[in-house]
Amino acid sequence: MAKFAIMGHGTLGSGLAEVARVNKDEIAARLGEAVEVKYILDIRDFPDSPDADKFIKDFAIIENDPEVEVVVECIGGTKVAQEFTRRALQAGKHVVTANKELVATFGKDLLAIAAEKNVNYLFEASVGGAIPLLRPLFQCMAGNQIEEIAGILNGTTNYILTRMVQDGASFADALKEAQAKGYAEADPTADVEGIDAGRKICILANLAWGKEVAPSKVSMTGISAIDLKDVDIAASAGYKVKLLGHALRLDGGKVAAYVAPHLVSEKMLLASVDDVFNACMIRGNAADEVMFYGRGAGKPTASALMGDVIDAIQHREKRRELGWSESADLADSALLPMKWYLRGDFTAADAKAVCGEVEEIAPNAVITAAMSEIDAKAVAEKLSAAAMLRVL
């Protein structure tokens, strides 16, 4: 029998304990042995939990118990979670997590410890929640040179934008609804300012190209400044506004990554992804474009955590060769050529005079030819544009 411990009994930790309990027979049949939760670490008491006898408050019990093969970190943040993760790996235990902040910021160092100790550090649930995404990227698409990744990687912002598109809600009202439904935290900064999606696109880029793309070096723009007027104009012209994480491999081996709102044509699959759902398009030189879709957060994420627990046990003897090395050679995302949406008190003729051919999609709103962000900002300034968004 394989035994594991869970650190944290919030939405994810409790969901994982439930999956392990309810699906124990199916898991045992697929793995070839039973899997059992031995400990649940939390500073709180849960006397009514069906796992009440498993709760402990001292991490050292987990750290020093040779029966515990896998530790699942559901604490969040980078302070206690980082310390306990390091100690678990140093103790020769596999570690599984959904903590995208920890993986994006300290993943390189933690993976190095895992390699040194011949154990696994797995984090399928850190990007896309319940969506099988990372394992297909580093395993199923291993025969590809990955060229581009673009995804709706944050369910909170996608819910807010869906409400703005479908019901004409303002950003402020849609955010309040998201908070009331539990989709957004009391402090929604990480979601609405693109930070959460930024961490996730970094993890995807790290795995795609094997070199570290640090969140501190990635441009992240969220949706807090999105005007309902632009959402309506986009919809009338056959576009939807979506917050995308975008990473590309450029000529010469450089990598570019950023997060920003985009106008996405309704002809593209990403445009049809609404509510709290996530989706990610990965383009490889052999597979072309593949799409992954599903629930990106919440209790269903426990499915991905359990998958990693099983994977870690299956790779007891020969660990997953997973990780990234030195820093990637990053290109400035502000130099990437792309089309831009501009709106303001100007005509299409005014815009054409400033930047050449444009597509008029509404009075006082145009889409430009491809140009860099630097050039687009210069055009927007000349036109005194009130809004400026990327077009995928």
Measured in whole angstroms, how far is the alpha carbon of residue 87 from the centre of its chain?
26
Residue type, 311: D
Nearest to 234 by CA among 112, 52, 106, 391: 391
Report yes or no on 360 lying in a domain: yes
Same domain, 38 and 187: no
Same domain, 89 and 176: no
When pLDDT is cut at 50, 70 and 90, the band that residue 325 belongs to is: confident
Q: Looking at 38, 93, 108, 200, which residue is catalytic? A: 200
For 300, other C-beta atoms within 10 Å of its C-beta total 17
The mean pLDDT value for 191-196 works out to 97
Report yes or no on 321 lying in a domain: no
Domain of 237, CATH number, reads 3.30.360.10
Same domain, 31 and 180: no
Same domain, 89 and 26: yes
Domain of 101, CATH number, reads 3.40.50.720
Residue 253: C-alpha distances to residues 107, 146, 151, 256, 295 (Å): 22, 11, 21, 10, 33
The mean pLDDT value for 133-147 works out to 94
For 285, other C-beta atoms within 10 Å of its C-beta total 11
- Domain final residue pick, 314, 346, 381: 314
Q: Is 24 a residue of the active site?
A: no
Report yes or no on 124 lying in a domain: yes
Same domain, 141 and 288: yes
Report yes or no on 118 lying in a domain: yes
Same domain, 112 and 230: no
Report yes or no on 330 lying in a domain: no
Query: Residue 96 above 90 pLDDT?
Result: yes
H helix count then E strand count, the chain:
14, 16
Same domain, 40 and 125: yes
What is the rounded CA–CA span in Å between residue 56 and residue 37? 12
Nearest to 265 by CA among 239, 233, 232: 239
Query: Residue 295 above 90 pLDDT?
Result: no
Residue 164: C-alpha distances to residues 84, 145, 209, 216, 221 (Å): 41, 37, 36, 30, 18
Same domain, 149 and 291: yes
- Domain final residue pick, 314, 347, 381: 314
Same domain, 189 and 286: yes
Same domain, 69 and 37: yes
Query: Residue 300 above 90 pLDDT?
Result: no
Report yes or no on 328 lying in a domain: no
Query: Residue 306 above 80 pLDDT?
Result: yes
With a pLDDT cut of 70, the percent of the chain lying above it is 100
Pairing of strands 288-295, 239-249: unpaired
Residues 6+ apart with CB under 8 A from 51: 17, 21, 37, 40
Query: Which pLDDT does position 313 carry in this prediction?
Result: 97
Same domain, 309 and 276: no
Q: Specify whether the CB–CB gap between 156 and 193 falls below 8 A.
A: no
Report yes or no on 326 lying in a domain: no
> How many structural domains is the chain composed of?
3
State whether residue 296 is helix, strand or coil: coil
Query: Which pLDDT does position 298 carry in this prediction?
Result: 78
What is the rounded CA–CA span in Å between residue 10 and residue 60? 21
What is the rounded CA–CA span in Å between residue 88 and residue 70? 9
Q: Specify whether the CB–CB gap between 291 and 280 falls below 8 A.
A: yes
Q: Specify whether the CB–CB gap between 48 and 73 falls below 8 A.
A: no
Report yes or no on 327 lying in a domain: no
Same domain, 204 and 281: yes
Query: Which pLDDT does position 181 carry in this prediction?
Result: 87
Domain range for 82 = 2-132+300-314
Residues forming a β-bridge with 116: none
